[in-house]
Structures are given as structure tokens and as C-alpha cells.
Amino acid sequence: MPLTKMPAPTLDALLDHTSRLKHDLGKYVRFQGRWLPPDATVEARREALAADLLHTRRGPDGSVDAATVWAEFSGVLTGQVPLAGEPIDLSDDPDVAAILAAMAALGPVIGDLRADRLDAAGLDAGERAADDVAEAVRRLVDRVRSLVRERRS
């Protein structure tokens, strides 16, 4: 179902869901990496990417990686878990599709980081994909928010 045709209560619930996605994943999937100076060493970049992707959400009980965080949200966006009582499938939405693609690209990067074997090419690809996730999440939330505002006004 396209965003524009979604009923208001579903759209409200979607704004809540995507806002949490932004807070839990979009903000932290590229958090340390964004603070690095432009001339950061490969090692510093790798460390930052590892911190961002392997410890995306931190809490008193430990940390979880980006793939696990995404798994909590993806079900709703792809229609496998209902939202406000009914499933919505946004797989064809350009931003959700971009997140799905970038998260798929991050899978092997996360594996390589865990095994401490991420090479320079993998590092570049990982940073690009993490950037893509962060930006696509931001665009998705912005679009949902402006639709909610339109409806409310």
C-alpha cells in the first residue's frame, strides 16, 4: 500500500514506528563514522564502522548489531507483522527498498567485521551502505511526517 493511500491511524502508527527506526538504527548505524576527521586512518575508520555496526544499540544488558536492530523493524515495513491491526507492505516504497538493499549489503560486512577480516574494499562498501541506510531512513521518516502533517492540517 503506498504511503499516500494509508488511513490516518495507520500513518500515525507508521510515523511512530519509523521514528523509532530512525532513533535505533538510522542515527547509530553511522554514528562514530560521521565524527571522524576527513584524514582518518583506515584503522580508525574500521574501528568506527565496527562500533557502529556491531554495537548499534547499547543498553544495560549489552549491545546488539545493526542486522538485529533492523530485524525488529523490517517485519512491519515488509508486511510480515501487522501495524495498527493490519499488515502494510512497503517493499516497493523507494526508501524502504533502499534500506532493504543497503542492509543486505551490510550483512557480509558485519560478518567480516566480526571475524576481523574486513579489507579496504569491504570497508569502503560498508561505509557507503551504512550511509545509505541512515539517509534512506531519514527520507522515509521525513515523508511520513509530512504526510501526517498534511492530514492533520
Partner 1 sequence: MADILIVDDQDRYLELCRAAIPEHRYRGPVRNLAEALDVLSRARGRVDCVLLDVHFDIPAEQLVGYEPGLSERALGDLRKRQGLLILEELRSRYPDLPVIVMTSREELALERELGGEEFTYFLDDDYVDARALQGQLASIVELRRSGESDGPVFWGRSMAMRRIRQRLSVLARGRLPVVLLGPTGSGKSLIARHYVHARSGRSGQFVAVDLSTIPTDLMAAHLFGSVKGAYTGSVGDRTGAFEAAHQGTLFLDEVGNLSTDAQKMLLSVLQEGKITRLGDLKERPVDVKLVVATNEDLAQRVRAGTFRADLYMRLNPATSVVLPALSERSLDTAELLTFCLEQALERPYLRELLSEYRLAAKLEGTRVRIVCGEGAPDPELHTLVLLFPERALRLLRQHHWPGNLREFAMTAENAVLFALAEMTAAGGGDRADVVTVRPKLVKDLLGALPEAASGPSEKGSLAIRVTLAPQDTLNKVSVDCETQYFTELYLRNDGDFAAMAELLLGDREHARKIQLRFNQLGLKVRELKERL
Write out the residues near partner 1 by the rule CB under 8 A. Answer: 15, 19, 22-23, 26-28, 30-32, 34-35, 58-60, 134, 138, 145, 148-149
Min dist CB 60 to partner 1, Å, is 8
What is the Cα–Cα distance from 118 to 124, expressed in whole angstroms? 10
Q: Nearer to partner 1 by C-beta: 2 or 38? A: 38
Q: In the bound complex, what is the minimum distance in angstroms from residue 27's beta carbon to partner 1? A: 6
Q: How far is the CB of 59 from partner 1 (least distance, A)?
A: 6
Residues 6 or more apart whose Cβ sits within 8 Å of residue 18: 137, 140, 141, 144
**Closer to partner 1 at the Cβ: 32 or 122?**
32
Considering the complex, state which of residue 20 and residue 122 has its C-beta at the smaller distance from partner 1.
20
- Nearest approach, Cβ of 33 to partner 1 (angstroms)? 11
Q: How far is the CB of 98 from partner 1 (least distance, A)?
A: 16
The residue (of 112 and 147) whose beta carbon lies closer to partner 1 is 147
Q: Which residues contact 123 (CB under 8 A, 6 or more apart)?
A: 42, 45, 46, 49
Residue whose CB is less far from partner 1, 13 or 67: 13
DSSP string covering 13-52: HHHHHHHHHIIIIITTTTSHHHHS-TT--HHHHHHHHHHH
- Within 8 A by CB and 6+ apart from 62, the residues are none
